[in-house]
A and B are shown apart, each in its own frame.
Chain A
């Protein structure tokens, strides 16, 4: 009895400690977001005069309206278009590559797979100068099209890894029976394997979607004008114009994360699963 009591006490103590720690981390994670949202509603001098954690005088979204008027939507749509094109291309070609890598027997299968996976650890900066040179030569410098290639290329390794692992789990019999019925490799892929890989593909779309949406290095190097710049660059563009007006920049920050947070709320479990899938091997 005594021992039981002691243990209960001990467990209560450790839960208290755990909650204490959990709340501290909640503050560490949450405060910067609170800081961002609160100040995005303030005026330029209001923020400096009053403390940064005071509520704003009014919740009228003046800064947001200003940011929208100053061309934020252009950046936003550039990001959306780039995301759509890159994802569509990426999903299709990685599905194509994962099919033979997971379900066919040929000599070079293992070395090719190993090489693709090995590219995961390559720093993108080693390709930056030649890709920059190539884009100016091909006249795709400062266009959205110039960003599709690098975005897709560096997402291929992890995508092939996730999809190959996924396709290995589809039972072989499905394909074999189709083959006996006279189905060729190509019809097999489009009519059987691709539809059965929907879950894997959606995981992949989410995992790479976040990365492409937030990509900075290539966008910063390969574009220079508003007509082709994406959201991560919008922040520095607005900062260049309003470096003293912190609340305006906070409004831009809120607007760039908002789509991701909305997506997270809608797709919460899938998003977490997507990140798990991408992290399994690295």
Chain B
């Protein structure tokens, strides 16, 4: 009797052990790559942030927390952070409503509107770099699209990228051009998860399409909108490629973002020590903001 019980326990134990070993083997490649390319570099960035180092020479001087003190008072960094925040707000206010409108239109029209869908989708296939170059010519003062249209309507040349306040908004417009289709596709997925039965039931009950949208679809889409906002928030805080190519952060620091600032410091001015401090600061801000917002939404029970 006792013998049998023991045998049973050891059998389940040995089964657990094989599961554990198998899990470890299957997970190890992913864990190793993430340790090498994500975890170790993050730790290393924090370490380099304590040095004065040009990235090339073998000797680097330990300067303690002085880089961090500089960062706290670095006007350029906080100006860049402010631009990131403006980008977050504008992206959420422009891209998500536009995405909902476009998806609603496509949802109402069905297959008939395939042409619209295909064209609207196109920007998503282009790399940020290509978009950046395309628009640096398309928004140029001579021979650009906006200037051409303005001249055709009797206006003058339009200088969008050359001066401080409008340059940032011009770039934000281009980013909206790039990412609106993403949210369109995203909300199309949301609509398809609502299903046609609910729509049919609403219409049979005598509702118009507008009422269906306002009282049925929109509340059901709300969780999708919230996740879209989080995606947009995180994406905008990390944003880099397009601005780096289009304006390089200029004119002055008008379109500088945290990532472009860090990149220029490290790889153009070869201040890798301080560049790492900026990168680490950016990491703290981005993960801090992302975690806070996610927790807030979770506490209110609105995010699963």
Residue ranges of A at the interface with B (Cβ–Cβ < 8 Å): 7, 11, 14, 18, 21-22, 25-26, 28-33, 35-36, 47-48, 51-53, 93-94, 96-97, 99-101, 104-106, 109, 112, 116, 119-134, 149-150, 152-154, 156, 160, 185-186, 189, 210, 213-214, 216-217, 221, 231-232, 235-236, 239, 246, 249-250, 253, 256-257, 260-261, 264, 268, 272, 275-276, 279-282
A-B contact sample (7 more), CB < 8 A, given A101-B27, A106-B16, A123-B238: A52-B143, A112-B31, A210-B125, A250-B137, A253-B130, A257-B127, A275-B182
Chain A residues with Cβ under 8 A from B280's Cβ? 126
What 6 pairs between A and B have smallest CB-CB spacing? A214-B127, A153-B37, A127-B41, A130-B41, A100-B23, A130-B44
> Is B121's CB under 8 angstroms from A264's CB?
yes
Whole-angstrom CA separation of A98 from B26 in the bound complex: 8
- Contact check: which of B38, B137, B186, B266 meets A276 at CB < 8 Å? B186
Tell whether, in the assembled complex, residue B29 and residue A264 are in contact, meaning their CB atoms are under 8 Å apart: no
Give Cα A21 to B100, complex, Å.
13
Q: With A and B bound together, what is the CA distance between A100 and B30 in angstroms?
A: 12
What is the predominant secondary structure among interface residues of chain A facing chain B? helix
Chain B residues with a Cβ under 8 A of chain A: 16, 18-20, 22-23, 26-27, 29-31, 33-34, 36-38, 40-42, 44-45, 48, 55, 98, 101-102, 105, 108, 113, 116, 118-130, 133-135, 137-138, 142-145, 148, 177, 181-182, 185-186, 188-189, 208-210, 227-228, 230-231, 234, 237-238, 240-241, 245, 258-259, 262-263, 266-267, 272, 275-276, 279-280, 282-283, 286-287, 290
A253 to chain B, nearest CB (A): 5
Q: How far is the CA of A217 from the CA of B41 in the complex (A)?
A: 15
Q: Which residue of B lies closest to A275 (CB)?
A: B185
Nearest CB in chain A to that of B234: its residue: A121
Are B263 and A125 in contact, with the CB atoms below 8 A?
yes
